[in-house]
Amino acid sequence: MDGPNFLIVPGDPQSHVILHVPHSSRVIPVDVRAKILLDDEQLRQELDEMTDSLTDSLATESANRANRKPWLFVNSLSRLVIDPERFPDERESMNEVGMGAVYTKTSAGEVLRLPSPTEEEALLKSYFHPYAAALSHLVGERLHANGVVTIVDVHSYRPIAHPNGINHNQQRPALCIGTDQFHTPEKLITGLKQAFQGIGSIVENEPYGGTYVPLDYYEKDSAVSSVMAEIRADTFLNPNLSINEGFEKVVSALSQFVDQI
């Protein structure tokens, strides 16, 4: 099953786990590319910096190895089109650096696209809202089938902070666990720590905090739980973005965590 910018891979009907992969794609539609001011080489470099490369492969391999296959919800377009993990309004802290739901700045703080309320609304209508609605619908289906839902938000991040960020001078562990006070029970935090203990250092909410929950359920339904796994890219990728020997360890850790859930 898929939509304009998402792919849903069904899991076991009895699974209440959804692996959400929002930032793994490099695909940008032609009409959206036309409004991006970077040349092709600059865009390639920006995609190298901003894409959570091969996190879709991590999630897919982990799902296939789990005793009970979880469901996958994968963003099929680049976050440079829209970022589905941002609030689409003034609640989003990344708005201050031009990296809200629709980015106007690059990872280095340069102009990505000219600010345009009309174009931003068009992108939100075409991509952000259908994505959010589809993921919310999947959560509702799993909730109806099993009574509870657990979202595992799968990300990676660079060993060195981007210049245009709001989290400088923070720790950059092998695994950053993102949590939400309402939606992240302690057992999810403990489970991630246990599963990833062989990968390296683990820190909560640093350098990235929070975790994705569809706004239809956000701070409304405690049966929907969520935790973010921000895996430092060099634990499984080489500098040229090919996989290294750590890829197998990360896949094993993530599938172990799914089994614990």
Where do the H-state alpha helices sit in 34-101? 40-50, 55-65
pTM of the model: 0.95
Note the pLDDT of residue 88.
79
Task: Please tell me the class of the 6-260 domain.
Answer: alpha beta
Note the pLDDT of residue 1.
59
Note the pLDDT of residue 97.
78
> What is the token pair recorded at 188?
């999810």
Say how many C-beta atoms besides its own lie within 10 A of residue 152's C-beta: 25
Question: Please, which residues bridge with residue 103 across strands?
Answer: 99
Note the pLDDT of residue 87.
81
Domain residue spans in the chain? Answer: 6-260
Residues 6+ apart with CB under 8 A from 86: 92, 94, 99, 100, 101
**SS3 track for 90-120:** CCCHHHHHCECCCECECCCCCECCCCCHHHH
Regions of the chain short of the pLDDT cut 50: none
Residues 6+ apart with CB under 8 A from 212: 20, 22, 84, 85, 151, 153, 226, 228
